Structure 1
Amino acid sequence: MRISLSIGLAAGLGLSLVSALTMAQTDDFPSKDIQYVIPFGPGGESDISARLQQKYFEEITGEQLIVQYMPGGGGAVGWSQLSGMPADGYTIMGSNLPHIILKPMGKDVGFQLEDLSNFHYFHYSPDAILVRNDSPHQTLDDLIEAAKAAPGAVTLSGSGTYSANDVANTRFQQLADVTTTYIPFKGTGAAVTALLGGQVQAEWGYTTVAANHHDKVRMLAVASEERHPMFPDVPTFRELGYDMVGGAYRGMAVPEGTPDDIQQKLSDIFQQINQHPEFQQEMQDLGFVLLDIPLDEMDAFMAEQMDVYEATARELGLID
């Protein structure tokens, strides 16, 4: 009896010590730099926003946000390796929609949506068709006429297969009854370079690309509900008769198994960054549209997005 009691007391004390240690670790988190893995190449929207977040992350935590890149497969290379990374909160990875939902539907890409523990989504970029300033295509109708005159001859760059850009191109071809050639690159930065270098005639990009390269490109149409305030002269696709509203949502995830309290701490930190007036202004000036989806709203947000993109997947022929 005494032995059992002693064991019980020791076990209880052990659990209390573990609990106290865990709480102390959470209170001190982060106590060192955090590695922020971008599953795309440098220069795209994920990279740009991460660079902006660095300053405010250090102000809030006293630690640095170290940006690294793991491009390939339109994000799939990075996401397929996330589950093998330390689940301690000190490694986070960029998370993008519709990519993380559509890619696993298309084929075995090495990860499932459930492998990513998304803890915060912070901005959205409306899809847009962009051309160089010296392009003969002055309007969306000009581009459509060229595509109809020579099916497949009009080339457009964009992010990887089953990315927001790929989805937008597929949807646009259906609505405009045209055939184009979509060329996927390892992120928006590479897709922009292809456009500026004359490798393609147009790009499926975002308002952010137009904001960042306003002296070199122009938008023909934007897939937002209303005209973007930075580009009041650029019509929406809906205005032009094409029912297209969509784009890329960006957030962050940690490996499955990362403690809930650590995820909550991360969510709180990035929510605080998102609410900083200077950060908001910087993001707006670059053409981003801010979101604020914290950890406690993530399940509902992802469920809603899943419904939307399952319909898209049927259109793409990914599922029956």
Structure 2
Amino acid sequence: MKTALVTIVTGLLAATPLAAQSVEDFPSKPMTYIIPFNAGGESDVSARFQQSEWENVTGQQVVIQYQPGAGGAQAWSQLNSLPGDGYTIMGINLPHTVLQPLAGSVGYATEDLTPVHYFHYTPDAIFVRAESEFTSLDQLIEHAKENPGLVTFAGSGSNSSNNLAAIRFNEQAGVTTTYVPFSGTGPSITAVLGGSTMAGFNYATSGVSQGDAMRMLAVASEERLPAFPDVPTFKELGYDIVGGAYRGVAVPASASEELRQRISDIISEINAQPAFVEKMESAGFVLTDIGYDEMDEFVAARIEDYTAGAKALGIIQ
């Protein structure tokens, strides 16, 4: 009996360094990366850019899968039912995961989710089609002041970053415009190109995909984008509008603290790869490096900001 007990204790003691070593060696097999949207959007494009660097950084491949539905809510509501071994991760977006629960029951609460890293954002920007009479933001604002409510902005959905940016623009420019929500970036761009709306509040990445078909009048980034060096920021023009849709990676709540930090470190290392930086900046993304150790503070600040935006949108009182 004594021999058996010694054997058990010895085994338990030996298991501790092995468990720690397993996190250090993670991953030791391919991983699954779930995108909660259809293929082709900004979440997919940035994940594909990461995918090409994943094996270089970890020695293992990552397989991208899609689980679209309800603006991402379908996948996020199921995140915590997945294994917490770190081998399944999921894309996560702001302001979606704050505004969706505020707007109603979506199967998850913001605090249910465990983001471990936010690695970029796509700045909001004002676009007009190339044939538009407006060649500057000042011209568009002047027209909006002379014609209250008649300037229409296409955007990627209600209660989105585009929607919030349009509200802030109205407040700061002292104008009244009409925001027209569409079911994603693609349809909203089509509306701008086809003349269904006078302009669009879209993500800066759309300027790359559409080439010369659209004209960007201003972008909501801290500094001018490398992909659009001639486009002024809103801040340059006197408007305190900075932000867009933040994208990152989340894990099931059952994942250990060590695994959360390890996955955050992997994303951070990918963020530093020169080829990845070049692809992201050329496509109009703005890189961030908000790791797991900064997550609580970052998310708390975003919740405060988006809750104020939710009141402006009429989502909450």
Interval of TM-score (by shorter of Structure 1 and Structure 2):
0.7 to 0.9
Q: Report the counterpart of residue 71 of structure 1 in structure 2.
A: 68
1:210 matched to 2:194? The reply is: no
- Runs (5+) with no aligned partner, structure 2: none
The superposition leaves residues 146-187 of structure 1 with CA deviations (integer Å, 9 ceiling, x where unpaired) of: 65666655443333332211211222233343131321324x
Q: How many residues align?
A: 316
Partners in 2 of 1:74 and 1:152 — Cα distance?
28
CA contact (8 A) 2:152 2:177 kept: no
Q: Report the counterpart of residue 230 of structure 1 in structure 2.
A: 227
Aligned partner (choices 62, 78, 83) of residue 81 of structure 1: 78
1:297 matched to 2:294? The reply is: yes
What is the Cα deviation at residue 28 of structure 1?
3.7
Q: Report the counterpart of residue 176 of structure 2 in structure 1.
A: 178
Amino acid at match of 1:117: T
Q: Which secondary structure does the structure 1 equivalent of 2:225 belong to? A: coil
CA contact (8 A) 1:144 1:178 kept: no
TM-score (norm. length: structure 1): 0.86
- Runs (5+) with no aligned partner, structure 1: none
Q: Report the counterpart of residue 105 of structure 1 in structure 2.
A: 102
Q: Which secondary structure does the structure 1 equivalent of 2:78 belong to? A: helix
Amino acid at match of 2:176: V
CA RMSD of aligned residues (A): 2.7
Q: Which moved more, 1:243-252 or 1:307-316?
A: 307-316
Aligned partner (choices 35, 40, 44) of residue 41 of structure 2: 44
What is the Cα deviation at residue 189 of structure 1?
4.1
What is the Cα deviation at residue 256 of structure 1?
1.0
Q: Which secondary structure does the structure 1 equivalent of 2:77 belong to? A: helix
Partners in 1 of 2:206 and 2:68 — Cα distance?
19
Amino acid at match of 2:39: P
Partners in 1 of 2:117 and 2:154 — Cα distance?
29
Instruction: Work out the percentage of aligned pairs sharing the same amino acid.
Output: 51
1:5-84 to 2 correspondences below 5 Å: 12-13=9-10, 15-16=12-13, 18-84=15-81
Partners in 1 of 2:141 and 2:296 — Cα distance?
39
CA contact (8 A) 1:173 1:180 kept: no
Partners in 2 of 1:99 and 1:112 — Cα distance?
11
Aligned partner (choices 140, 148, 153) of residue 156 of structure 1: 153
Aligned partner (choices 117, 131, 138) of residue 128 of structure 2: 131
What is the Cα deviation at residue 248 of structure 1?
1.8
CA contact (8 A) 2:226 2:282 kept: no
Partners in 1 of 2:276 and 2:235 — Cα distance?
30
Q: Report the counterpart of residue 119 of structure 1 in structure 2.
A: 116
TM-score (norm. length: structure 2): 0.87
CA contact (8 A) 1:117 1:255 kept: yes
What is the Cα deviation at residue 110 of structure 1?
1.4
